[in-house]
Chain A
Amino acid sequence: MSLYSLFVEPWTAGDWMWRGVLTASLVAVSCALLGCFLVLRRMSLFSDALAHVALPGLVGAYLLTGSTGTVAMFLGAIAAALLTTGLVSGVKRYGGAHGDAAIGIVFTALFALGVIMLSAFASDADLDTSCVLFGDVLGVADHSIITLAVLCVVLLASVIAFFRPLQLATFDPAHARAVGLPVAWIFGGMMAALSVTTVASFEAVGAVLVIAAMITPAATAHLLTRHLQTMLAVAVAHGLISAVVGMYVSIWLNCSTGGAMVCVGAVLFGLAMAWTHLARALRRPTLTAPDPASFSSPPTLESP
């Protein structure tokens, strides 16, 4: 097993390697960017919810339009996402449930509905459940790669162009609203972007693993920094590393690519956690009793 055969040869054995890495990288970058905002707003479970409610969205779109084309799928997913956010709001206000429970109530019910719709009314549709769940990074068609590329570019451009409003809306929505930012539209846009990205990523990594692609990079970055720019950059880096290393691992072990990427991402998260503990242990402040006589001026307050 030479280094060459391990690292270089896969690239030469046809074009599936670079296609796979490209697909995975596009998915990783798009999801990492969106994931940062989710994690900061403590809405990580929305990725879980949207991944699941995409199913009734897709089936509904198929039943209404008769097509399983990309546009119909995306519209169905967006409609399902918006319906979900509306229902979650309603449940929080009138349904006596809070936080995660409200999200869970809505998406499990909608997902159950979707499964039944699929198997009872649309079993002839070309929706393969195992493909949706697990994805197939190496077998993604050209038009899907182009879609992912466009999506990735649009997301990157949006994050860069709208950085200040996004930053403010994320950290202090009340203040953002007060200065006139259309916070509701910003979040609505984010939900739409989330649902489109989720559906676009199904084909590559599958539904459950999209969740990992969104949350793990952002959570890892969050462990290491609190500045939004740095966090976005670190999350993107995490996603790319997971994608490439995961790809190699899946070749060496001959196993699922999506799964390998997720596992690599989890390992990186674990390393980041270990690092923060190490850093804290090394940096333990030396403690000396303050001398009361030295209080010539009032002690300054550092933010806790």
Chain B
Amino acid sequence: MNGTEFQLDTILQRTVEFFTFKYDFVATTLAGAVLVGAICGLLGVFMVLRRLSMMGDAIGHATLPGVGLAFLVVGHKALAPMLVGASATGLAAALLVGFITRHSRTRPDAALGIVLASFFGLGTVLFSAIQSTPSGAQSGLNDFLFGNAAAITVQEVALLAGLLLTTVAATVALFRPLLLSTFDTTSATLMGLPVRWIHYGLMATVSLTIVASVQAVGVVLVAGLIILPAATARLLSDRFHLNLILATVLGALSGALGAWLSFLFTGFSSGPSMVLAAALFYALALALAPRRGLLARVLAAARRHAATGASTPNPDDDDRLFNDQTADARP
């Protein structure tokens, strides 16, 4: 093994250091990671249920040209213009995906891929025009891609806290419109709800969240933090409001666990650590969830078998990987 130590006493010692905030930066790191996880988890429920799971990936990649533009306009590295630029291009990307889908034959998944890659391509052009290679300061790039929660500042924690509070307040206040527009957009439109504006509001919130989260999680993995806690919550509960609460809590826990892991071991960036933690929770739920988990299903099948004396076919038995898409052109 190179670069990383895995001795137990070191691990224990570092854990104690972490949770007793022995170093100043640990408090901000932990707070930042927990907040990022919580807000991504909460928004993730809406994104996944609206079939916009990969929008987080697209928005994340689309922040690159925004940062580049801020650079070009301001002339040097400054936080506020970069956040503004990143949010602007992120939101533009989100809206463009919808625009392309509505105004052409292009399907949402293709539109998403085009926007994701094109914006990122534009970003690489901008950065390469600014300096001779797109990588520039290597560590800066790595942080942008994979996150570095240890570098979160107190101001960013405050921003994240504000964002989380606002989102929770909006979710509570607009719970019913959000639920209806997510579940049944058609009925929501017919009942006169401002469905378009709800969508724009959600996209704007997600864009801000992603921009704020990139510092901790990195651009490439923020999508994982949006999807995984929501998917885990779905396995654990059939109630909408519980899904929201569980996803937020699971996201926060993933953040904490990830920050702890990246503190323990060098070579464990915070972004991948947080996503792995979230994936671990998902895997646990997949296996052990009360009704939807694998163990529960196996037990239920065994009970069915014992009751009827014959094996009943598994109703999920069809290969859906290639079958639940349909081609939409004539040969």
Contacts and interface: CB of A to CB of B under 8 A. Distances in A.
Interface residues of A, number: 87
Nearest to A90: B286
A2 B128 CA distance: 25
Given A208-B120, A223-B106, A115 B61 contact: no
Interface of B: 1-4, 48, 51, 53-54, 57, 61, 100, 103-107, 109-114, 116-118, 120-129, 134-135, 138, 141-142, 145-146, 220-221, 223-224, 227-228, 231, 234-235, 265-269, 271-273, 275-276, 278-279, 282, 286, 292, 294, 297, 316, 319-331
Secondary structure of the A contact surface, majority rule: helix
Contacts of A219: 106, 110-111, 114
A103 interface: yes
A215 B114 contact: yes
Name the residue among A171, A223, A254 with the largest chain B CB count within 10 angstroms.
A171
Interface of A: 39-45, 47-48, 52, 85, 88-89, 91-101, 103-105, 108-109, 111-113, 115-116, 119-124, 129-130, 133-134, 167-168, 170-174, 183-184, 187, 206, 208-209, 211-212, 214-216, 218-219, 222-223, 226-228, 231, 250, 253-256, 258-263, 265-266, 269, 273, 276-277
B288 to A, nearest CB: 12
A120 B113 contact: no
Contact of A101 (B123, B227, B266, B319): B227
B105 A222 contact: yes
Nearest to B294: A94
A112 B324 contact: no
Contacts of B105: 222-223, 276
A43 B269 contact: no
A262 B220 contact: no
Contacts of A43: 109, 325
A91 B285 CA distance: 12
A215 B279 contact: no
Contacts of B320: 89, 92-93
A212 B114 contact: yes
